[in-house]
Structure 1
Amino acid sequence: MNARVPTEPSGPTDDVTHHVGYLLKRAQAALRGAMDRVLREHGMTVPQYATLELLALHPGMSNADLARATFVTRQSGNVVLRGLQEAGLITRPATADHGRARPARLTETGRARLTAVQASVYAIEQRMVEAIPPQRVAALLGDLDRIATVLED
């Protein structure tokens, strides 16, 4: 679909396919589809990949924190963590030191698996960035962050 994208904000009676929300969802769906395709080649899902990326940055995150950060429910996050643990990609203690949180950490195998898939995923992001004039990338990132922040309140 290569429809003309209006430069003025649309109103409630205009074509919904030109609304900001619709275009954001279209971009998100395209990103998810592209990621699904490359991750499938590595036997991985988007939530699994996102979990590995986050654990590489923040070792010891809990299931609840990982679920929030990867946009899945806590129950789904727990299924993802169990699968990654069974595959030997992460470790979690059998019991919690305090409370219920069992911090997760990448194993060496998990770190290697993440490294193997990163180039493919980062290439998708590079394709997205190349579609935007370089002088507008920082503004777009700021706009997306502000949109998320105003809707999270």
Structure 2
Amino acid sequence: MVQEASVGDLQQSVGYSLKQAATALRSAMDTVLRPLELTVPQYSCLEVLGQRPGLSNAELARATFVTRQAMGGVLRGLQERGLVTRPAVASHGRALPTELTVLGRQRLRAASAAVHAVERQMLSGLPVADQQRLLDDLITCTTSLTGRSVPKQ
């Protein structure tokens, strides 16, 4: 006879606690990004482009955990506001490489500082060694579920 396992007490569930932390983080990021007139996906897009300019819509979607269709909307909004630039026609293939504008880099600096402050607040109850351990453990969890190695910072 097969015995079914259950999650059990939600307060003892790592997955449930992880989701609570992710929701709290998202809410805090929404709060600090709102005055900058950015959503979390828009900020994520700017942050990724700041570190890896020239990515295509599909590459940005993968890097920011949204669909390609959603990324198309994010990019249109950012482009209309003068935060990113994309060529009208691809120089080769179909991909349109995206880059930050001067205004986009300025907005990214402010947004990145605001999000970094949220992350510092989130981690403030942990000693520095435990913060690194948490990061390493989350990377290990991701690798265990995806089978793909996550680059360490």
Give the TM-score of the pair, scaled to structure 2: 0.89
Q: Within 5 Å, which residues of 2 pair with 1:90-105?
A: 90-105=84-99
Local SS of the residue matching 1:41: helix
Give the structure, 1 or 2, with the largest relative contact order (CA under 8 Å, sep 6 or more).
2
Deviations 1:68-108 (A, max 9, x none): 11110000011101110111000001111222110000000
Q: What are the Cα deviations for residues 34-72 of structure 1, in whole angstroms up to 9, with x where unaligned?
A: 001111111110000011111110010111111111110
Per the alignment, residue 41 of structure 1 pairs with 35
Moved over 6 A (4+): none
Does residue 139 (structure 1) correspond to residue 151 (structure 2)? The answer is no
Identity among equivalent positions (%) equals 54
Measured on the aligned residues, the alpha-carbon RMSD in Å equals: 1.3
Gap regions ≥5 residues in structure 1: 1-10
Give, in whole Å, the separation in 2 of the partners of 1:41 and 1:22. 30
Name the count of aligned residue pairs: 143
Give the letter aligned to residue 58 of structure 1. R
Task: Quote the residue 1:84 is aligned against.
Answer: 78
Distance 1:144 1:96, change over 3 A: same
Structure 2 unmatched ranges of 5 or more? 148-153
Q: Deviations over 1:116-142 (max 9, x none)?
A: 222211100111221212221111111
